[in-house]
Every structure is written in structure tokens, then in C-alpha cells.
Amino acid sequence: MLYHLLFPLADEFSIFNVLQYISFRFGAAMFTSLILAFALGKPIINLLKTKQKNGQPIRKDGPAHHIIEKAGTPTMGGVLILFCALFSTLMWADLTNSYVWVLLGVLTGFGLIGFWDDYTKVSRHHHDGVSSKIRILLEVLVAGIAVWFIMKITTNHNGGDSVLASSVALPFFKDLLINLGPLYLVFGIFVIVGTSNAVNLTDGLDGLAIVPVMIAMASFGLIAYIVGRVDFTEYLQLPYAPGTGELAVFVGAILGAGVGFLWWNAPPAMVFMGDTGSLSLGAALGAIAVSVKHEIVLAIVGGLFVLEAISVIVQVTSFKLTGKRVFRMAPIHHHFEQKGWAEATIVIRFWIIALVLAMVGLATLKLR
């Protein structure tokens, strides 16, 4: 809103010319959401404590020390991230950009699904929330609508040419696109829903999920800025996706809100993000990857989330087929807890892994 209110005044007040630069509005969005998260964090946590008498239900089959150390900690802290990110994006983004509205819709839609799940857990005083079938169905519905709109927007921005909209770009190859046609809708849904649930599985220790999410978001904010500029895409020989550069402003809002949330989520956490935060942030990350046509790179940048998801799949499959467990506990961060690793050690090492994978993923932009 500020962009639309102030930028027209640039002819009279030259200082407002800075609003035309995505880089400036990225920083402004990040700073705005950060200050909001600092200011609203304590009141929101106190409100959640008041409404949640026993805090987030702790799995009885989880690590034993969690029952003692984490009992009573409120959940749904994701509302802090969502509110700050949504407000900041609305303040600083170009609201005529359709991609921005799709991302806001994904963030809100998955946030509401996660909120319902968290509320169900808290009200029942049990770690089981909404039926997994219902939750996945709702996620697929929201993701499907988002992918359909992204494909339509991409087609319109390319003069009616739908090839890019339904194609997957392969890293390490120059301008190589695999056109999936109508099947791209299914592929896009898989990317968004898969990323959402992978981030959700990663959210098991204080600070474990939010930092890798911010690292991946920052990486895709840079990718969005690059692929949204024809000069950069020509130099790097990447598919040009007009209009996606504005998503960097959305990413800035997420980063600021994430840093502010980490202030309250740092060990020992005063609040958990819950499914409200993890499902929505993961879905937004997947939607950005679909928008900028770097879905495969997401698997590299977000490799930590992939590892967490695979560990659960392997554990469940092995136990059903053989009756034996591959890991002491899944997701894999609990496996290392059971081996005696300190929580802080696991968290920081996983942060390092996420950072290394992000650098590898970004390297694919040049290595072609």
C-alpha cells in the first residue's frame, strides 16, 4: 500500500524514487516485519499461554526429555510470522503483481489449515490433530488452485505462450525445459504440498525449522530477483519469468518475520510455530519455486527438508514390511537425540547443512 501511495509522488519528491527498486522494498519489508515481530511477540505469546492451559501436547512416544523440558510451551506461534509477513508484504509489494497475491493466498490458506490442526491438538490435549486425509485433501485443493493461477499468470506474461508455464527447468543445463503439459498441475501440487509437509516434519526442535526455512527463502528470493530480470537471465542463460522479481519483497517480509520469531523460539523456546507456521512457510517456499521455474533446485536448496521427509518414509516402510526400524526414531533429528546428541548440537549442525545445500543450489545458476 505504501508503494502505491508514495511512489506516484516521486515526480514531486525525488526521494520516493527509491520505491521503484525491488532491492529497497525487500529491505523495507524485512525491517517492517522484524520490528513488528519484536513488538508483537510477547503479547501474542501471553495470549497463547492464556488460551492454551497446557501448551502444545507432547508426543509420549517421543524423546523422554521433551515431556519434561517442553511441556506447557504454547504453540500456534506461526500466527506471529504470518501476520507480520502479510502486513509487511501488503505495505511494500506491488499489489498489481498477480504472483504476489497467489503467494499471499498460499501462505494464508496453508496457515489456516495448520491453525485448525494446532487448535484441534490443543483442544483435545493430544498430539493427533485433524485427520491426515482431510488435511492432505485441503492442502491439495489450495495448492491446485495456486498452481493453476501460476500457470495462467506465467502464460499471460509470456504473450500467451504456455510452454514455460507447464515446463520444468533442469539445473546444470542451458535453457533446457521439459514440457509436462497438463501433468504440470499435478507436479506443481506435489512440490507445494511435499515442501509444506517436509518443513512440518523438520519442526521438532527449538529453532530447527525456522533457520533452514529462512536460508531457503533467502536463496529463492535471490533466484526470483534474478529470473525476473531479462538481463540477468540472458547472462546466466536461465528461463526468464517476467514479474517474479516482485516475490523478493514477499521473501523479505518472511525473513524479517522469521528472525523476529527466532528471537522468541530460540532455546529454550517460549513458543512453538506449530503447524500454523511450518505448513504455511513450506507451502510458500514450494509456491515460489513453482513460480520461478526452479522446482528441481528446491530439492537441493531444501535438501534438509527432503532428508527429514525421506527418513520418515524409510522408517514407516521398513517397519511395515519387516517389523524393524532403520532409525532409532524418525524424523531423523530425533534419531540423533536418541544417540545422545545435545539438542543444540543437532540444531546448529542442521543449520550448517542447510547453508551448505543452499550454496550448492545457488551454484547451479552459474554451472550450466
Residues 209, 199: contact at Cβ < 8 Å? yes
Residue located via cell numbers 540444531? 347
Residues 75, 271: contact at Cβ < 8 Å? yes
Q: Where are the domains of the chain?
A: 28-363
| pLDDT tens digit at each of 368 positions of the chain | 787 888 777 778 888 889 899 999 999 999 999 999 999 999 999 999 888 776 666 655 556 555 445 667 888 999 999 999 999 999 999 999 999 999 999 999 999 999 999 999 888 877 677 899 999 999 999 999 999 999 999 999 888 878 899 999 888 877 778 999 999 999 999 999 999 999 999 998 888 999 999 999 999 999 999 999 999 998 888 889 999 999 999 999 999 999 999 999 988 889 999 999 999 999 999 999 999 999 999 999 999 999 999 999 999 999 999 988 999 998 999 899 989 899 999 999 999 999 999 999 999 988 76
H/E stretch holding 315 reads: helix 303-322
Q: How far apart are CA 155 and CA 165, in angstroms?
A: 6
Long-range contact set of residues 43-50: C-beta below 8 Å, sequence gap at least 24: 44/77, 44/79, 44/80, 44/271, 45/74, 45/77, 45/264, 45/270, 45/271, 48/74, 48/75, 48/76, 48/77, 48/271, 49/74
Residue located via cell numbers 540472458? 234
Degrees to nearest 5, angle at CA 307 with 306 and 312: 100
Please give the model's pTM, rounded to 2 decimal places. 0.94
